[in-house]
Amino acid sequence: MRRLALLALICSPAFGALAFVQAQNGGAQASSTTRTTTAMATTTGNTLVVGTRTNAACTTTTTVADTAGNTFYQVTAQEVSGNVCTRAFMAFNIVGHATDVVTMTMGSSLGFSYINVLEFSGTDRIAPRDMSISAGSSGTSCTTGAFSTFRADEVIVFIMQVSALAQTWTAGSGYTLASGAQDADHVIHAQYKIVSTNQTDVTASVTVAGGAIAMAGVSLRIPQSPGGPSNNSLIQ
């Protein structure tokens, strides 16, 4: 038994530290059926979290793809004002690419639509997703309902949008605004928080100057050590 355990440890892949690597964004006020991010060099095995903001209800189809051919799963969505939809997607154990461009394709030509992408290292390569949550409000701030994480070491990521242009974003307590995630019109942004203890019945918030605000969040876990407990969370 000890020999099998030793072999499992030897054969387990090496993972780096759980960390935010980089972010890029794109989008415009003019109408189009697609939006693209600026190209970035991504690393094989990492996780990408993509946020999309469409100037239409969530019934409007939105899909995400990238140059490397990775598969993106929608994890949550939030509609505000009846005509703005914010979605969070993710791709895990990605194929890296030297000039990876992420593209969102919408079911109709829309203006004021935006996209961003965040890359994280050190996440589980088999099933990194833990919890997901979304929230929406009108005013100067937005706060989620209470949520908990399954595992101690995770990164919690929120894609955020607001209905008004030229916003100044203030991250929630303990969160960091992701450098590179904000578009030129200051409509879409993202924040993240790396934790080392289980989060129980916590909330997250963000503050802006004012407007209809939406948050779409997901938490990503580190790899499970050999022989550790399983997690029932699934990619959907």
Domain boundaries, the chain: 17-221
Q: What is the pLDDT of residues 36-47, one digit of tens each?
A: 999 999 999 999
Cα separation, 30 vs 115, whole angstroms: 14
Q: Are 55 and 32 in contact (CB under 8 A)?
A: no
The mean pLDDT value for 101-110 works out to 97
Q: Who contacts 229 (Cβ-Cβ below 8 Å, separation ≥6)?
A: none
| Stated pTM of the model | 0.89
SS3 content of the chain, % helix, strand, coil (to 5): 5, 50, 45
DSSP annotation of 12 reads S
Q: What is the pLDDT of residues 50-68, one digit of tens each?
A: 999 999 999 999 999 999 9
In this prediction, residue 234 carries a pLDDT of 39
Q: What is the pLDDT of residues 117-131, one digit of tens each?
A: 999 999 999 999 999
